[in-house]
Structure 1
Amino acid sequence: MAPRPHSSQSGLSVQSDRTVAVHRSLPEEVAVAMVFDGSSAAVMMATPADLQDFATGFALSEGIVTAPDQLDGFELAEHPNGLEARFWLREDRAEALAARRRFMAGPVGCGLCGIDSLDAAARALPLVGDGPRFTRAEVACATDRLRDQQPLHDQTHATHAAGFLLPGQGITFVREDVGRHNALDKLIGAMARQGTDASAGAVVMTSRLSVELVQKCAIAGVTTLIAVSAPTAHALRLAEGAGMTLAAFARGGGFDLYAHPHRIIDGVPDVA
């Protein structure tokens, strides 16, 4: 059984006029080894919740598998120093694992820490499909709607979230983690396990838009990526090349639109 995703901790609140004792709920962060066929592919620092979604999304977004039915026999094993998220691979996918080997023990802020070559970091991205359209209003309020569905953040004020926005329906999936790319892997895994087509909606993030987020979304088939903060210049270049729409600074009733703006429209949302 995984540890609780948060715990109560004592501290002191030091203000200009007083110092008082406080008790705060803080997010837990543990080492999670992604183990496939008995071999560790990566070690990620993550929030210990939705770990089957996390491992599934990681395997999909890293190209270890191309569909969730290529993974079998999930189990979670506790160790003194962390957790193992274990899967067995279909035989033909073992070669993909060997080709995509990563050893990661990096901070949660960097999804590319530990990649074993510059070529792996610069992997070619697939061209995403046409995808749905969204109204300006849907995009402008997307991060607010995501914020309404973040119970772990409500308790800790210290986690990121990734949500899935369907046109005309709002946010339908949300996953949280201390790491933004971990939250996205959890979201991708959750949708894949439930048979939800990632190309049918947009991903909404509580973070900046960095290279690994664009890479993961493109591999999942996501056509629109919305975030509360800025994209990096290289993330924007990757999105341009992949045919993906980027909407950044989505807060306060507005947003900046970068790359392939044709998916953001006025009027009634496209629910087809």
Structure 2
Amino acid sequence: MDLTRPIATELPVAIECNGLAYAVLMASPDDLLDLAYGFARTERLIDTVDDVLDAEAHRLDHGALVRVTLSSRVAGRVADRVRHRTADSSCGLCGVESLEQAMRPLPRTAPRWQGEDAAVFAALAALDVAQPLGTATRAAHAAAACTVAGAIRLVREDVGRHNAFDKLIGAMLRGGLGWDEGFALLTSRCSYELVEKAAVSACPMLATISAPTTLAIDRAAQAGLALRVLVRPDALLAVLPYGA
């Protein structure tokens, strides 16, 4: 019997800031403006949505290009850090030249996580139907913004776990949404890069379906970020309460 199924699309996405080539990401071709906004925020190129003056996505023969124009207030950050970097879906900090650049201090997350673990179980139960790309292909990650009670507010998907979270953060920025004491649920392991994205975006708690690394735990502790990992329908591991 012949079986067919959708295959996840992956292509190079170049991000250009103020006319300078900043990065090339291997990503899914959907929600590219969300990706650009979220990437700029978690790279700390911008602080607020108002720092982006314009953004345009263009499909090319062999990939996509997103051109971002940043305000003069933050333009110097691009000039200081720009380099033509290529990152794949399992890579975090290609092109960073020093340990100091890789381990920049993280902001303390706010507001504090005050929710119950039951909210994580509720969000996990609802996530399957909220990730059509992942359900169809079994080759994409999802990042969900959830309320403190566990209701899913917004989901973004990508073949790369970093990209999925950046898309979510970017969509929230563009939509004027805050975490509102809620949390992020990711269908991935808890890597240090995801912890840093959560901290930079002021997310109170990060929940993932797979295990953390030691560096992820250390960075979460520095940021005061609550972690819930190895999330299953009937179990999870609370690695860090807020302020650990």
Coarse TM-score class (shorter-chain normalised): over 0.9
Q: Specify which of 81, 104, 115 is matched with residue 100 of structure 1.
A: 81
**Unpaired segments ≥5 residues, structure 2:** none
| Distance in 2 (alpha carbons) for counterparts of 1:112 and 1:232 | 16
Q: TM-score, normalised by structure 1?
A: 0.85
Q: Does residue 161 of structure 2 align to residue 150 of structure 1?
A: no
Q: Is the 8 A contact 1:57 1:186 kept in 2?
A: yes
Q: Specify which of 10, 27, 30 is matched with residue 11 of structure 2.
A: 30
| Distance in 1 (alpha carbons) for counterparts of 2:163 and 2:131 | 15
Matches within 5 A, 1:29-178: 29-168=10-149, 170-178=151-159
Distance 1:78 1:130, change over 3 A: closer
Q: Does residue 196 of structure 2 align to residue 215 of structure 1?
A: yes
> Which one-letter code corresponds to 1:221 in the other structure?
A
Could you say which structure has the larger radius of gyration?
Answer: 1
Q: Is the 8 A contact 1:52 1:85 kept in 2?
A: yes
Distance apart, 1:92 and its partner CA: 1.9
Matches within 5 A, 1:239-250: 239-250=220-231
- Could you report, residue by residue, the CA deviation over 1:15-69 in whole angstroms, capped at 9, with x for unpaired residues? xxxxx43322001001101111111110000000011100000001101111111
Distance apart, 1:261 and its partner CA: 5.4
- Could you report, residue by residue, the CA deviation over 1:224-266 in whole angstroms, capped at 9, with x for unpaired residues? 0001110101100100111010000111311000112589xxx
| Distance in 2 (alpha carbons) for counterparts of 1:120 and 1:70 | 22
Q: Is the 8 A contact 1:131 1:199 kept in 2?
A: no
State the Cα RMSD in Å: 1.8
Size of the aligned set, in residue pairs, is 244
Q: TM-score, normalised by structure 2?
A: 0.94
Select between 78-87 and 31-40 the one with higher mean Cα deviation. Answer: 78-87
Select between 156-165 and 20-29 the one with higher mean Cα deviation. Answer: 20-29
Q: Is the 8 A contact 2:58 2:64 kept in 1?
A: yes
Distance apart, 1:128 and its partner CA: 1.1
Relative to its length, the structure with more strand (as a share) is 1
| Sequence identity (%) | 37
Q: Is the 8 A contact 2:182 2:205 kept in 1?
A: yes
| Distance in 2 (alpha carbons) for counterparts of 1:199 and 1:103 | 36
> Which one-letter code corresponds to 2:117 in the other structure?
R
